[in-house]
Structure 1
Amino acid sequence: MLFKFESLISKVIVTDRDLAMMNAISVVFPTSIHLLCRFHIEKNVGARCKQYVKKDRQEEVMDLWKKIVYSTSVEEYDHHLQQFEILCADIILFVDYVKDSWLTPYKERFVNVWTNRVMHLGNTTSNRVESAHWRLKNMLQTSFGDLCKSWDAVNMMLKNQICIIQSSFQKTIKDVEHEYNSQFFQNLHHCVSRKCMKEIDKQLERVKIVDTNKTECDCSIRTTHGLSCACELAKWQIYGNVIPLDSIHDFWKQLSIAHELEDEESLSDYDFSEELEAMKAYMKKHNIISQRIFKAKVREVVFPHTTSIIAPPKKVRTK
């Protein structure tokens, strides 16, 4: 399963370890940063843990595995990995699996110390797209449906999702949650998402520990989310400033779903001259056969009643 951030122009892609897809991504998106889904990795490691490790030790082993994954420095990563090797010294098959299948070839794609150098906006799993896929399968209900039923199900699911997203946007634009109703947040009110506010609030809790110390702060939230880190917030509090809106990445300010050519009025004002010129250029460039195919396709769109495609006279067995 693949999850791509369109807002980052395909700079970050999250997938499970599908080797064919991974090879394709390296060719199609050579400049992209490819991360692996932590959720799928943990499931695979957990399954092998149940296979090789005795039940009374499984929880301890998996806790140490999580510490490896969430290490925030190379030293911390090496320390937890050494502990893991000592703890599982008598289960060499499991240690070899973890190192050979995941850590040695792919640690830079899912361990915190390396993923914290990438702006992934908090997405280190493909759970969002997996969840959407699950909802779609629930709406389809069966694998024996025809194209029309499948189209209706997909259309209904997308409409429901858009309604939920728009409702969330409207709530953010109109209301301010009580915990963020302070002067410190005033520039962000009605301008950024609630998730953004929560992430900044977590950093405010860290201010009590790190204060303005940049080394202790590590500023990873600035790199990964494009948000103000604890040491930045501490400085603004000291000088009596508020959080500036331009310190927030544009991703968190998107509170509307843009629809190009949304209504008839915008269509009537739209200038089609560029498209018409492109069509004429296409016709001049290609031979008579390609021209006829192109004209037939355009005619189907402009005059749909003239198409030769008709619904089957009776229900066709699809499988």
Structure 2
Amino acid sequence: MGKWGEVVDAATVEEFEVQWMQLFNMCKDKYSNFTSYCSTTWLVHKEKFAKAWTNHVMHFGTTTSNRAEGAHASLKKMLRDCKGDLATSWDASHSLTCNRHTEILASFERSIHRIDHIFMCPFYTAIPPHVLLHSLSRMSSRDPLRAQHHTGSARPQSE
């Protein structure tokens, strides 16, 4: 997986091509089925998974298709970097879990206090500031005409 990882992790298209040619030349005689498989199955979709292309798209660090895969990838990376016994690995994974839990709590807190631009219009100014964003979103989705009024008057924020 090492050389294939270098192909996928290449930062530029040129580096990708160089890495792929090195892998291809290394495997073409002895593992022609492998090079054929990579060429016909994977490289036709290289823009979707190779860093030379995906790093040009704003993905905010999301490089997997779901959160569980992302958490699993983080854990694998942490365990690969963690050189030690079971206790050291356990402490590192516990720390990772605690940090992730703190991030999730902070995200919930932000979502409670954040006011989306769509709700900064006169229609919503009379709504008490403790009403959750989810409730405002549900109200807005039930009356799309009201959601289109963007006159610039902001709903007062609570302290």
TM-score with structure 1 setting the length: 0.25
Larger radius of gyration: 1
